[in-house]
Structure 1
Amino acid sequence: MSRPTALALPAFLLLGVLATGCSDKEEPGSELSPRVLYGFDGCDDLLDYTKGQAKGLIDQYGNLYGYDYSQGWFGEDAAGGDGLSGSGGSTGGVDDGGDGEPAPGDGNGGDDGGKDYSGTNVQEAGVDEPDVVKTDGERILAFARGQLHFVDVSGASPTLRGSLNLGADLYEAQIFMHEDRALLLVRTWPYYYDYEGAPQPEGLDLQQYFGPDYWAGITRLIEVDISNPEAMKIVSNLHITGELVSARMVDGVARVVVRSAPTGIHLKEPYEFFDYQAFEQGGGSEGLYEHMWQIALAQSKVFNKSAIDASTIENWLPRYVREDLSQGQGEITSGVLLACDDVMHTGVYSGLSTLGVLTVDLNSHLAPTGGVGVFSEGETVYASKENLYVATTPWNPADWNPEAAPEDQGRTTYVHKFDIKDRTRANYVASGEVRGWLLSQWAMSEFGGDLRVASTDSLGWDQTTSESFVSVLRQDGDELQQIGQVGGLGKTEQIQGVRFIGDKGYVVTFRQTDPLYTVDVSDPTKPVVAGELKIPGFSAYLHPVGEDLILGVGRDGTEDGQILGMQLSLFDVSDDAAPKQLHKVAIGEDWGWSEALFDHKAFLWWGKTQLAMIPLEWGSYDENDNYLWEQGALGFRVDKEEGIVQIGEIQHPDPVVEDCWDEYYGCGWSPMLRRSIVIGEQVFTLSDVGIKASALADLSDAHWVEFPQN
C-alpha cells in the first residue's frame, strides 16, 4: 500500500522527490492528494503500482502511449503524447528567477586582484548552471566535437594546454567546474559505443549491462581531474538509463535531474496478431477489417498484460553502470539505481517514467550510494541558493476529450519545494499548485520567501481561451498556499518570455503583437498588472541592463503577426503603468536565427562597458546574387540615450578539411559560434573549431586558439 514519504531525503536524490507528503499513511480507499508524493512499502508494492497502471492503459488503449487502437492501426492519439509519461518515453529501451538579483553577467571574479571575468549567464547569482564552456578567469574549459579543451588565459595570450578525448562519439556535453575537478553531463546512446570507428571505452560494453535491446537515451556523468592540464584524466564515469533534464550547482554540490522510462518490456502491437491472409481470403471488406482488428486488439492486450505481469523491478527503475578509475584500472559496478522504498508516486497519475535528481559529490567519485525517485514527468527545474523547486504538469485526459466539462479542460501545474541548504541531502518542504503550464525555468522566481509563478492556461487545445497568470505561493506548513494571483494577461496568447526582477514581473505574450506586461508584486497578496505595451514581434529573452532598463532578445514582426528577423529591443520600465520601447535594432536578414532565443546561456551582458553579445546565423546574397550563409557573434553597445549600436562582429576561420572528396562544393563548413565570455580586456568566443580572443573595446581580433581534430 502506498504511504506518504518522510521529510528527509538521501543525498543521491532523484527528482521525483519533488512532492513528498508527510501525513500518516492513508486509509484503504482514501482519495490521494494530487500534490503529495506517496512512498511504497517495498518492491512488491511498487510492482503492484506500476503493473496496475500499465495494465490499465493496455485495457483502455491497447498500448502504453495513449493511442486509440479501437478503430484500427491508424487510431487517434488520444493522449496527445505518451501514456508512459504524458509527454515522452519508451519501453523499447536542461531553467531561472531572482531575489533582487544583480544583473547577471556583470562579472563574478577579479575583486581579489585577478582579472575580472564573466561567468555563465545564470538566473540566480550563486546558483551555477552547466554549459559548454566554463572559466574562473585563469582557465577556460570548453567542450567541442567530443573533446574537453583546457585553455590557459592567465598570461598575455591564451594557450591550449591540453585536450581530452571523452571516449565516445559525443556531440554535446555540459560542464561544471569546481577547483581541480570538472563534472561533464552528457546525453548519449548505447550504440555510440558500438559504432564502427567510434572511440571505445576500454573494457566497457553498456549493452552487456543494460541489455542488447536497450537503445534509449543514456545520461553519462564524467568526473575529470584537471589539475594537470597536459594530462587531464577521467576519474570516474556514471552511466544511467534515462535522459538528462537539467542540473544546478551551489557551492560545489551538483543536483542533476534525470528522467528514465521503463525498459525491456517487450510489447506487441495489434497488427502483429492480425491475420492478413484470412482477411484477403474473406474478401477484404471494411466490416471484416473492423471485426478482425478487434480480435487482434484483444489478443495483443492479453499478450501485453502477460508481459507486464512478468516484468521485474529492473524494468521499471533506472539502472546504472559505474566506472571508478581513481586507482588506475577501472572497477566496474552496476545495478538498479534506487531502492524500492526510496521511490514515490504522485497522488494523480503522472506517467510511469522515473524522474530523478542526483546530488553529486565529486569527492566520492560518483558513487551511487542511495537515491529517491518518483513516477512522474517533471518539466521545469528552478533553484535559489537555498531551495529547489520542481514543476510537473500531469497527464490530463480532458485535454483530448471535447465533451469534458469546461472546468475540467484546463491544466494544473504542481510545484514541489525542497530545502537544499544541507550539502548531503535535500529535504522536502511543501507542495502547491498553479493554474496552467510553465514556459521555462524563468517562469519561477523566489523573492522574500515567496515563489512567484507565471503560467498560461487554456481549455483543452482551444487557443482562443488562452490567458496567462502570475501567482504567488507562500509556504504554510507542508503546503505552498496561493496567497495572490492576477490573470487576464494576453488573452488568446501564450507566454513567450518572462523575467522577475525584485518585486516586479515582466511577461511577454504573443499571437499577433507583443504585449509586454509589467506586474507589480510588491504586495504578494495582491499582484496587479500595472502596465502594458503592445508592439509587433516578441521578446523571447529579457535581461536587465541598468536601472529600469530591460533588453529583449527576440523577433521582429508585422502588425498582422508575421514573424520577421532577429531584433534587440530596449525597454524603459521606470513607470510601471507605461513601459516604453526606447530603441530597437534588426539583426541579420529576415531569416536570421540565434541560440539565445531559447538558451539564455548564449547571451552575454557585460555591464562595465554596456556590451551585449549574441551568436547569430543569417542568410544573405552577395553582389552576384549568390546565396551566402554566415555565422558569427555580434556585439552591441546599449545606451538609454544613444540606443543599440553594433560595435563589431566576430567570426571564426573555417576549418581546414584534409582529403576533401568534393571538388565542386568543397568540404569546408562555417563554424557556429556558441558562447561569448569576458576575461580582463578581451572577449573570448567559442565554436567547435576553437576559441578566439578579441579586444573588448571594438571586438578586433587578438588571438586564435585552434582545437585539434579528433
Structure 2
Amino acid sequence: MLTWTSRYALVVALVAIVLAGALGTLVAGVWRPSVQTSQTSTPRLSTPTNTSTPQHPAGVSTSSSRPPARTSSPPPATQPVVQGFARTFRSYEELVNVVKESLSSSRFSLAADTLTTLGFVTPIVTVTPTATVPSPKTVAIPLILSSKQSVEGVAAEYGVGRAPAFSKTNVQVAGVDEADIVKTDGKYIYVARGNEVVVVKAYPPSSLGVECRIKFNGSVRGLFIAGNRLVVIVMPLPIMPLAIAETTAGEVTVIKTVTITRTVTAPGTTTTTATTPPSTTTVRIPLPVTPWGPPSYNTTVYVYDVSSVGSPKLVLNVSVSGQYVTSRMIGDCVYVIASMPIKLVKDYVPLPTINGAPVSPSRIAFLGPDVRYTFTTVLAINVRDLKYLDNVFMVGSSAWVYVSTSNMYILSPRWAEFRDVFTEVVKALLPKLPGDVSARVEGVLNSSAPWSIKVRRAADIVADWFNRLSREERLKVLREYTKTVNDVIRGLSLDETVIYRFSLRGLNVTAEAKGAVPGMVLDQFSMDEYGGYFRVATTSRNYVVEGSGWVRAKRFNNVYILDMNLTVVGRLEGLAPGERVYAARYLGDLMYLVTYRSIDPLFGIDLSNPREPKVIGFLKIPGYSEYLHPYGDKYLIGVGYSGGSGFRGCVKVSLFDISDPSNITEVSKVVLKDYHCSPLFRDHKAFLINPEKGYIAFPVACGRAVDGVAVVEDGDGFLRLKGVVPLPGGVRELYIGDYMYAVSHVAIKVVSDKDLGEVAQISLTTR
C-alpha cells in the first residue's frame, strides 16, 4: 500500500503529468502543418432564375425570388481528391471516417457529438419578407451615378445646393466594409431592429420620417448599402427538433400535436382555442436521427433593389446552413460566413445545405487534421449581377475573422489535448525509469487497448515500482521527476490558435495556407496584414508544476509575424506577464498594444523588420483602453476605463501623442464620471469620428445620468467633453452634413453638430 509520502511523490512524478494534460497543456510548436498552395475544388456558380420580382405591395407578402434548390450529384469513385493545399472527399463514408478519427482523439466528452435534429434533414424554408409602405410615397434618387450624371445633379434632386458629406461605418481596413445594424447613404438611414429593417428619410432633418419597413422571419444581423442595393443578413428562427421515435429500415414515426390559441381583448369577445388532434404518420428518412438534440440554424442573405426606396424590390435571397459569424464587402462582392458544428450520430454526419440542397462531399474542402471541425460556408455574392458562389470548408471553429482587400483569415482556438502533453512527458520520463519498468510501460502504451485503459495500466506499473522504493529513494525520485516534468511543461502552452488563409478573387474563395501560433486572440483588431505578412497578438497561458504538486498557469502576451504561407518568421513573446491583451492597433510598421491588470501599459512596437519585432515605447497610466483609433499622423485616441481601487472606474477618453513612438505620452483625457460602460467596448462600429470638424462620438450607458451619445471634441490637442445627447439605449451615431444623428432601437434624434441642440426626433416603433 502506498504511504502518504509515496502518494505525494507519485502525484508529482506521474499523476501531475495527467493533471497537466487534463487541464489542457498543449505542445507549442509540436504540430505545424505543412504548407502548400493551390486551388480548392471549383465551387458552383449560380445565377438567380428571376431577377425581375415585382415590387411588394403595402403589407402584402409576395412569392420568393429565391432560385430553385440545387442538388449535388455524388462524385465518382475515381474522382481525384488531392488538389494542392486542400483536398475533398471521394465519398460520404470517407468524410464520416475523418470526423470519427477527430472525435476519437479528443479529450472532450463525445456526448455533445451524438446529437442532431430533424432540422438537418428537413429542407430549410425561407419566408419571404414583406415591405410595409406608408403613404404618401416618395421617390428616391438613383444611388449609383451614371457616367453622365454629376454630383451637382444628385444634389439638385436632394433639394440642396451640394451633396452633404456623410459618415461611413467605422471599419478596420480601408476598402473593406463591414455589416452593421445602422447604415446611411447620405439621405436615408437604414436601421436593423429585431426582425425588421426600418428605412428612414433623414436628410434634410425637416423631412425626417419612416419611409418603409421590411419584415423578416428571423433576426436581422447586419446590413450593407451599395448604391441602389440593400443587403440584409438574417438568421431565421432555429429549426427545433420534432418528437420522433426511430423504427426499423430507416422509417420514423412522427407525432405532431398542434394547439392554436387566439385571444381577443375587445369587450364582449371570448377566447377561442382550436386543437388539432394528435396524428401519427410514418415517413421514410434514409438517415438515422435521434429523438432530441439542439436546434439547427441557417443564415439567409436578401438583396433588395432600393432605387425606389419607398418600394424596395427583392431581387435575390440565398440560404445557407449554420450560424452567422461575420461578413465583409469589397467592391461589389459581399462575403458572408456561416458556421455549422459537425455532429456525429452513429455513422451519420449532417451535411451543410445551400437553399435546402445538401452539399456534396466532393465539394467540401478539407484543410487537414484538427481536434474539432465545423462546416464553414463562405457565401460570395455579387450584388450587381446577382451571381453567387458557395464555398464550403471543413475547418476548426470560426472564432475570429480578419479580412484584407485580397485575403480572408479565419482563426480557430484549439485547447490542450491530453495525448499531446502525455506523449511529450512520457518521452522525457521513460529514459529515467528502470529498464524493465520502462519497457513494460512502453509496451502498454503501444498496445491496441483504448487510450484510457492504457494510461491506467501504465500508471499501475509505475505505482507498483514506486511503492517498492524506500522513503529516501522516493524523495529522490520526487525531486528528479518533478524537475523533468516542470522542464517539459514550462515550454508548453495551454492553448493555441490555428490560422487559415483564403485568397479572395471576386466570387472565388480559395484555401491557401494553414498555420498556428501559441495563445488566444482577443478580437479582429489583434490581427493585421501588411507588406506580405500577417501579424497577430495573442495572450497565452503556460502551466508550471511546482514541488508541492500544484499546477498553476502563468499568462503572457505575444506578437507573431507570419509570411503568406503562415509560417512564423518573427516573434515577440513574454510581454506583461500576468496580464492580458485588451486592445491593439496596427499603423503600418508600428503596433500599439494595451495590456492590463491594475494599470494601463501601452506598448509601442516596431514591426519594420518582420523577423525582429521589438518594443520601442512604453507608457503606464491608471485604467486601460478598450478601443484604439488613429487620429491624424500624430495622435492615437483610446477609449476605455479610468481605473481605480479594485474596479474599472468610469468611461475615459485619452489622447496619446505618438509622434515619437519611443516616447508615448498621454497629452489629454476626459473622464465621464456619470457613465461606466459603452456599447463601443463590445463593437467598434459604435465609434464615430468626424476629423474635418474635430470631434468623436460614441454611446454611453450604465451611469447616474440618462444613457446617450457622448461627443468629445479636440481643441488642438486638448480634449473637451462637448456634451451628451440624451437617448436611452443608444447604439450608433452618424453625421450627414452639419447634423449628427443618434440612433437607438426605438428612436432617432437629430442634433446640430455646432451646439448639440435638438433639431428633430422620430420614433421607430410607431406604425
Give the TM-score normalised by structure 1: 0.70
Match of 1:218 in 2: 298
Deviation at 1:585, TM superposition (A): 1.9
Match of 2:694 in 1: 610
5 Å-filtered alignment, 1:356-505, equals 356-362=377-383, 370-397=390-417, 405-420=489-504, 422-459=505-542, 465-475=554-564, 479-505=565-591
Contact 2:40 2:86 in 1 (8 A): no
Deviation at 1:448, TM superposition (A): 1.9
Deviations 1:488-511 (A, max 9, x none): 321111100000012110000011
Contact 2:518 2:538 in 1 (8 A): yes
**5+ residue gaps in structure 2?**
1-34, 46-79, 120-144, 153-161, 242-257, 264-282, 423-484, 545-550
- What SS class does the counterpart of residue 583 from structure 1 fall into? strand
Deviations 1:356-397 (A, max 9, x none): 211123356576x54322142121111111222222223432
5 Å-filtered alignment, 1:29-178, equals 37-54=86-103, 63-65=110-112, 114-155=163-204, 157-160=206-209, 162-168=211-217, 170=219, 172-178=220-226
5 Å-filtered alignment, 1:651-690, equals 651-652=726-727, 671-690=728-747
Deviations 1:95-128 (A, max 9, x none): xxxxxxxxxxxxxx99985211110000111100
Match of 1:20 in 2: none
Match of 1:70 in 2: none
CA distance in 2, matches of 1:261, 1:92: 15
Contact 1:9 1:426 in 2 (8 A): no
In the alignment, structure 1 residue 601 sits paired with structure 2 residue 648: no
Deviation at 1:25, TM superposition (A): 7.9
Contact 2:585 2:593 in 1 (8 A): yes
- What SS class does the counterpart of residue 674 from structure 1 fall into? strand
CA distance in 1, matches of 2:87, 2:543: 28
In the alignment, structure 1 residue 538 sits paired with structure 2 residue 624: yes
What letter matches 2:91 in structure 1? G
CA distance in 2, matches of 1:488, 1:61: 29
Deviation at 1:91, TM superposition (A): 7.0
Number of paired residues? 550
Deviation at 1:676, TM superposition (A): 0.8
Match of 1:352 in 2: 373
In the alignment, structure 1 residue 335 sits paired with structure 2 residue 357: yes
Deviation at 1:427, TM superposition (A): 3.0
What letter matches 2:620 in structure 1? K
What letter matches 2:39 in structure 1? L
Contact 1:513 1:561 in 2 (8 A): no
Match of 1:636 in 2: 712
Match of 1:556 in 2: 642
Contact 1:509 1:516 in 2 (8 A): yes
CA distance in 1, matches of 2:116, 2:594: 35
**5+ residue gaps in structure 1?**
14-23, 27-32, 66-82, 94-108, 199-207, 266-306, 323-333, 621-628, 653-670
CA distance in 1, matches of 2:552, 2:301: 40
- Counting aligned pairs with the same residue, the percent is 25
Provide closer, same or farther for how the CA distance between residues 450 and 152 of structure 1 changes in structure 2, counting only shifts above 3 A.
same
CA distance in 1, matches of 2:184, 2:41: 32
In the alignment, structure 1 residue 228 sits paired with structure 2 residue 250: no
Deviation at 1:174, TM superposition (A): 0.6
Match of 2:721 in 1: 646
Larger radius of gyration: 2
Match of 1:316 in 2: 350
Deviation at 1:634, TM superposition (A): 1.0
What letter matches 2:351 in structure 1? L
Deviation at 1:9, TM superposition (A): 5.5
Match of 2:671 in 1: 586
Match of 2:659 in 1: 574
CA distance in 2, matches of 1:316, 1:192: 15
- What SS class does the counterpart of residue 405 from structure 1 fall into? helix
CA distance in 1, matches of 2:165, 2:262: 43
- Please, which of 232, 235, 239 is the counterpart of residue 187 of structure 1? 235
Deviation at 1:231, TM superposition (A): 1.9
CA distance in 1, matches of 2:490, 2:346: 35
Provide closer, same or farther for how the CA distance between residues 7 and 614 of structure 1 changes in structure 2, counting only shifts above 3 A.
same
What letter matches 1:308 in structure 2? K
- Please, which of 307, 317, 324 is the counterpart of residue 244 of structure 1? 324
Match of 2:439 in 1: none
What letter matches 2:648 in structure 1? I
Deviations 1:22-62 (A, max 9, x none): xx988xxxxxx9xx6543223221122123434566xx766
Match of 2:272 in 1: none
Match of 1:666 in 2: none
Provide closer, same or farther for how the CA distance between residues 553 and 222 of structure 1 changes in structure 2, counting only shifts above 3 A.
same
Deviations 1:49-101 (A, max 9, x none): 123434566xx766244xxxxxxxxxxxxxxxxx79xxxx97796xxxxxxxx
Contact 1:91 1:262 in 2 (8 A): no
What letter matches 1:450 in structure 2? Y
CA distance in 2, matches of 1:619, 1:538: 19
CA distance in 1, matches of 2:736, 2:226: 18
Provide closer, same or farther for how the CA distance between residues 140 and 319 of structure 1 changes in structure 2, counting only shifts above 3 A.
same
What letter matches 1:552 in structure 2? G
Provide closer, same or farther for how the CA distance between residues 639 and 502 of structure 1 changes in structure 2, counting only shifts above 3 A.
farther
Root mean square deviation of aligned Cα? 3.6
Deviation at 1:453, TM superposition (A): 1.5
CA distance in 1, matches of 2:390, 2:569: 36
Give the TM-score normalised by structure 2: 0.65
Contact 2:571 2:611 in 1 (8 A): yes
CA distance in 1, matches of 2:533, 2:760: 47
